[in-house]
A and B are shown apart, each in its own frame.
Chain A
């Protein structure tokens, strides 16, 4: 069966510090991978998605970036965190490109920027 892991589970970082959140998927090959952010009082916002190694599409311009160094690894990064980067970050995966393919979400990382 497939599983998705995210770490760390929680993170408290000062403004201006770097960020690296990691997501890995097990039990499948060539998944589509996604990063979402859930800010307090708001819905989920897609940040990045990837359909293959080294292929990253950005949905919202900001000071975050994403990379996919391996087939089942997706990393969210920032060189300098802002207060507005606080939120709950969710990684997800799916197979196929059809509209009916559901996305499976990881447990999330709660980031607090102080």
Chain B
């Protein structure tokens, strides 16, 4: 079945540091890929998405590129802020088979210190 693997946290960075959170996936067909963010005590918000190979999703300074050859969708940001502290989830939705559900990774907790 489909699966998403993302780097284990927690990740602790200083403000203005470079961020990478690795995400790889296993899926049949042609999935869409997503990054969701969960701020403390809140639900999930879509951060960015990519629907086909080589697409780059971007939002709020975050970027991720859909790499079909490496089945990856790594999240990056050039300069993190304290307000970026949250849990980040990589997810996929598959267009082949059951296309109703998102398959999530376990989440990566990011803490940014001033």
Interface residues of A (CB under 8 A from B): 6, 32, 34, 42-46, 49, 51, 57, 59, 90, 92, 97-108
Contact = CB atoms under 8 A, between A and B. Distances in A.
B70 interface: no
B104 interface: yes
A102 B30 contact: no
Interface residues of B, number: 24
Interface in B79-107: 89, 93-95, 99-102, 104-107
A49 B100 contact: yes
Given A6-B43, A100-B49, 19 more contacts: A34-B101, A43-B107, A49-B101, A90-B44, A92-B44, A97-B100, A98-B99, A99-B99, A100-B32, A100-B93, A101-B93, A102-B34, A102-B46, A103-B102, A104-B46, A105-B45, A106-B43, A107-B42, A108-B43
B101 A59 contact: yes
B28 to A, nearest CB: 12
18 contacts: A6-B43, A32-B100, A34-B100, A43-B106, A43-B107, A44-B102, A45-B104, A46-B101, A51-B100, A90-B43, A97-B99, A97-B100, A98-B99, A99-B93, A99-B95, A103-B46, A104-B46, A106-B43
Contacts, number: 58
Contacts of B49: 100, 102
Interchain residue pairs A-B with the least CB separation, the first 5: A99-B95, A43-B106, A100-B51, A105-B43, A105-B44
A89 B31 CA distance: 25
Nearest to B45: A105
A106 B107 CA distance: 18
